[in-house]
Amino acid sequence: MGDDPEEGMLSWDESVFRDEHVFEIDYVPETFKHREGQTQSLTYALRPAVRGSRPLNVVVRGPPGTGKTTAIQKLFDEVGAQTSEVRTIRVNCQVNATRYSVFSRLFEGTFDYEPPSSGISFKKLFGQIAEKLVEEDRVLVVALDDINYLFYENEASDTLYSLLRAHEEYPGAKIGVIVVSSDPALDVIDELDSRVQSVFRPEDVYFPVYDQPEIVDILEERITRGFHEGVIGRGTLEYVAELTAESGDLRVGIDLLRRAGLNAEMRASRTVERQDVEDAYEKSKYINLSRSLSGLTDTERTLLEVIAEYDGERAGDVYEAFHDRTELGYTRYSEIVNKLDQLGLIDADYADVDGRGRSRSLSLSYEKEAVLDRLE
């Protein structure tokens, strides 16, 4: 055998990727397509902030993977480039799911260091943020990304109330709020306390699912930036777009491209074939499942595991097993069931059971094996 690797085969130090980072979840694309209307509405809402006034509040809605976070990141970058009078902070509510931790994040964004770990009262935490704003005469724009997680913990109303009424306690504090929800079943305004509803009159910006031609267009751009030329043919791209459109989530498509590329490399191939995509889809289709699981506490994971093991059996048995493993009572059990239901991990329906009245039937929203594999 000669020194040259076979034609069409990768040598060990080559890659199909030009830049693998292009396929990561937190990558902000340079060109942001098919969201001109939404971007315009958001820019309009923030315009007063650039002039030093309180911006309009906004509710951004749309299913996962429709460009909501990217739109906000691009907008915040733009505002930052234009003026230093506005401080923008994006809070990931899946990570910061209580009012206190949201404000810890705001503290960190304001002072560039974390609040003392010894714990300081919420009032003090809030006071320091507001005083700093007034002192610097800056406008604060807060994006509560995936606020649905604050609702699942019953923290949304308190958090918003504090932000929206800040100027009453700290005259001169100017705060605008962009609320982002990726749970189509959640009616943000409806679920808030009336005391919040009366001060929260947001603009509404909706992000619909991308259609197939738009998906092709967006993925094509990623392919150009992320892969070497000729790695992915038109037919393969169309197939990826088809699977992505089926899921309604652009992130599935981006993850598919990355995994299919890795599969091609495993075969030492210079091109990604349909089979690489098919194999990758077995993992990529569960990207939302993995994302939901990553935010669960140990107790929540335990209950999900029990539900998976008892899939389709009596809810009473699930509670017994959960109680045996965690020693937690029915109230906490019931709260977690609601949260797992809201996260779309399980379906909790009330069913009439012979002679026993109504009972809850709990079933998984995903294949049992897929859930148990990922919980391990």
70 has binding-site annotation: yes
DSSP state of 116: P
| 67 carries a ligand binding annotation | yes
With b for 16 or more beta-carbon neighbours within 10 A and e for fewer, the 141-172 pattern comes to: bbbbbbbbbbbbeebbbbbbbbbbebeeebee
Helix (H) or strand (E) holding 178: strand 174-181
Q: Helix (H, G, I), strand (E, B), or coil: what is residue 154?
A: coil
Which one-letter DSSP state was computed for residue 272? B
Is 68 marked as a binding-site residue?
A: yes
244 marked among binding-site residues: no
* Residue 72 CB burial class (10 angstroms; 0-12, 13-18, ≥19): buried
Helix (H, G, I), strand (E, B) or coil at 257: helix
Please give the C-alpha separations between residue 314 and each of 83, 324, 328, 343, in angstroms, as whole numbers.
59, 16, 19, 21
43 annotated among ligand-binding-site residues: no
Of 80, 286, 42, 48, nearest to 178 by C-alpha is 42
Distances (CA, A) of 216 to 202, 207, 241: 33, 18, 6
Q: How many CA atoms lie within 13 A of 312 on its CB side?
A: 3
Taking each helix axis as running N to C, give the angle between helix 250-266 and helix 287-294, from 0 to 180 degrees, rounded to the nearest 10. 110
Q: Is 98 annotated as a binding residue?
A: no
Torsion 312-316-317-322 (CA) sign: positive
Contact partners, residue 215, CB within 8 Å, separation at least 6: 241, 244, 245, 250, 253
Report the alpha-carbon distance of residue 371 to residue 375 in Å, rounded.
Answer: 6
CA distance 97 to 95: 6
Binding-site residue set: 66-70, 210, 222
Binding-site residue set for ATP: 66-70, 210, 222
